[in-house]
Amino acid sequence: MERIKITLLIGVVILSFISSTACRKARVEEAEPVPEPAKAEISQEELTAAVPELRELHEVVYPLWHNAFPEKDYELIKELLPQAEELTTKLDAADLPGILRDKQQAWDENKAFLKDSLLKLKEASQAGNEQEMLNQTEAFHSGFERLVRTIRPVVSELDDFHKEMYKLYHYHAPQYDIEEIRAVVLAMQEKIVPLKEVTMPARLAERQDDFDRAVEELETAVRELAEVVQKDDKDLVLQVVEKVHTAYQNTEKIFD
């Protein structure tokens, strides 16, 4: 009987020790601060609307279009084909920077046109079909120009605004960094001022009124966001961020 009492007493002591240790561990864990998740950094490359491989391709597009085509120099076309293939392959493997992510579909479509025209140019060259060589040289140049227009901003002031919009929509709003949101909204308000003074290029002059109305709606949305960010109401802020993003997209569509 005495032995049973001793065994029970030892068991109680062990359980008490285990419980005490667990409690101390829990208190330590509670006391340890939980590190905040690291903020995603925005690189300058991500904000630059450029594709270096497209600029490199111009090295072969220029002599094809400005020398070989007008002079009907078929031997020069054949001579430039390997370089055209090499640079087009590099371009095909290139990624668009983050700020151009909404251009991906148009970029892929125009890139497919470029590659198809190059393939046909190579076939015409191998067959000795001189007229088709000229036709496909022209098509290849057209494909290059399409790609340039896809990523080149028509209005630099809208591109400047877009950089702030990109930071807000893809970084600060998803992370709900209210201080960064407030800062970028101030920058957007500054970018709106020159945007309101933009005169459309001659080829788009008939769209000036539509552009002005779109910018006015964009300004209204940004002004509303500037007001709500002072309240730090997450749901409301994110709701108005979507409104600003939609207003920006409507402004950009004027150039489609």
* DSSP notation for 176-242: T-HHHHHHHHHHHHHHHHHHTT----GGGGGGHHHHHHHHHHHHHHHHHHHHHTTTT-HHHHHHHHH
pLDDT of residue 70: 94
User: How many helices, marked H, and strands, marked E, lie in the chain?
Assistant: 11, 0
Q: pTM for the full model?
A: 0.68
Residue 44 has pLDDT above 80, yes or no: no
- Identity at 40, one-letter amino acid code: A
Q: 72: Cβ–Cβ under 8 A, 6 or more apart, which residues?
A: 130, 134
Q: Is residue 11 part of a domain?
A: no
Q: What is the pLDDT of residues 57-80, one digit of tens each?
A: 999 999 999 999 999 999 999 999
Domains contained in the chain, number: 2
The pLDDT-based confidence of 158 (bands split at 50, 70, 90) is very high
Q: Is residue 105 part of a domain?
A: yes
Task: Of 241, 221, 252, give the one whose Cα is nearest residue 172.
Answer: 241
Residue 87 sits in a domain whose CATH number is 1.20.120
Domain membership of residue 78 as a residue range: 52-151
Domain termination residue (choose one: 125, 151, 177): 151
Q: What angle do CA 173, 255, 240 make, to 5 degrees?
A: 25
The pLDDT-based confidence of 39 (bands split at 50, 70, 90) is low
pLDDT of residue 36: 52
Higher pLDDT, 26 or 191: 191
* CB-CB contact of 102 with 150 (8 Å): no
Residue 87 has pLDDT above 90, yes or no: yes
Residue 7 has pLDDT above 60, yes or no: no
* CB-CB contact of 97 with 47 (8 Å): yes
pLDDT of residue 151: 86
The pLDDT-based confidence of 38 (bands split at 50, 70, 90) is low
Mean pLDDT over each residue of the chain, to the nearest integer = 87
Task: Of 223, 206, 215, give the one whose Cα is nearest residue 247.
Answer: 215
Mean pLDDT of 157-168: 93
Higher pLDDT, 20 or 47: 47
- Identity at 166, one-letter amino acid code: Y
Residue 245 has pLDDT above 60, yes or no: yes
Of 24-33, 43-52, 211-220, 247-256, give the lowest mean pLDDT range.
24-33
- Identity at 67, one-letter amino acid code: N
Domain termination residue (choose one: 151, 186, 217): 151
Domain termination residue (choose one: 88, 121, 151): 151
Indicate whether 163 and 137 sit together in one domain: no
Indicate whether 99 and 171 sit together in one domain: no
Of 96-105, 183-192, 222-231, give the lowest mean pLDDT range.
96-105
Q: Is residue 16 part of a domain?
A: no
Indicate whether 123 and 203 sit together in one domain: no
Indicate whether 99 and 112 sit together in one domain: yes
Q: What is the pLDDT of residues 175-193, one digit of tens each?
A: 999 999 999 999 999 999 9
Indicate whether 142 and 181 sit together in one domain: no
Q: How many other β-carbons are positioned within 10 Å of the β-carbon of residue 237?
A: 20
Indicate whether 92 and 160 sit together in one domain: no
